[in-house]
Amino acid sequence: MFRNLRINIFIYYFTTVSSFLSVLYYILIIVKIQNIFLVVIVMLCFVILSAVMISKLAIDPLQEHVINLRNLSKETLHELNLPISTITTNLQMLEKNITTQKDLKRIDRIKKASTMLQNRYNELEYMIKTQTAQDVKEEFDLKKLIDDRIEFLNPIYPDFVFNINTNRTMLLSDKIGLSKVIDNIIDNGVKYSTDKKIIDIKIENFELNIKDYGKGMDEVEIIHIFDKYYQANTEMKGFGIGLTMVKRFCDTNNIELNFKSSLNKGTEVKLKFKEF
């Protein structure tokens, strides 16, 4: 597709420039029109027409390709919903009739896999909505979101203790995007923690505080934490894009983001939300 597109644009561009030079030669040399203003107007119209045709030739196939991909994503999303719901419903029915510990553990593993699949479904739906400029804001309880994220992260970080001090706080925001932000902040706290494997999470006056007791950062590192691909410790796994995503999300959703960090004492991240 893109090879043919390049060839078509090249041919049209070559033809257009050749035609432009030919017309200019005809006007100035053959016809010898002395009215420069008229020549400029004719050439300007010709250039604008050529630009419109080239942009149409370049954009239309890409636009059609994007629309087809978007439609395919929506259809795939719709088809995924039924098997996920079926698995979840049947798991609940099976769980009621199983008594042996071995089978319960198997059911629990299937349930966790089903939850992960549901999360991928939600993220795919979220991506489609954001790509189509749909409003993804919804009303939700931040306390409930924190509880859900910790329930999800606990098996991933079994050595860590999460001290949670939260209260019911209703927000109108991008719930899925915020959950990814929370996951990224906690993941960074876990990644840079050393001996003290504790993460404190507190909600107070529409402010979410997430604090770790890890390596911390100095003033120079804090300046660069939002730079794309920057990592304070290059030996750590990852690509250094997590905090860039966090900053972009907070800026887009009018969330005040602050970092407070000290070397060998840890880092505290504060997200201040607007009341509604």
Per-residue pLDDT tens over the stretch 101-119: 888 888 888 887 887 777 7
pLDDT, position 212: 93
Please answer whether residues 210 and 186 qualify as being in contact, where contact means their C-beta atoms are separated by less than 8 angstroms.
Answer: yes
Tallying the residues shown for the chain, one arrives at 276
> What's 242's domain CATH number?
3.30.565.10
pLDDT at 239: 33
Please count the structural domains in the chain.
2
Residue 235 near residue 243, CB atoms below 8 Å: no
Residue 3 pLDDT class (50, 70, 90 cuts):
low
If pLDDT is split at 50, 70 and 90, which confidence band does 273 have? very high
> Which tens digit of pLDDT belongs to each residue from 116-170?
777 777 777 777 666 665 667 889 999 999 999 998 888 888 889 999 999 999 9
Mean pLDDT of the chain: 78
* Residue 78 phi, psi (nearest 5): -65, -40
E strand intervals along 136-197: 137-141, 161-165, 170-174
Helix axes 2-25, 36-97, angle to 10 degrees: 170
Statement to judge: residues 193 and 221 lie in one domain: yes
Q: Domain check: are 262 and 156 in the same one?
A: yes
Domain range enclosing 233: 137-272
Domain boundary among 134, 150, 168: 134
Please say whether the beta carbons of 182 and 203 come within 8 A.
no
- Residues 17-48 have pLDDT tens digits of 777 777 776 766 676 666 667 767 777 777 77
- My answer on whether 72 and 178 are in the same domain is no
pLDDT tens by residue, 195-237: 788 999 999 999 999 999 988 888 777 776 776 544 544 444 4
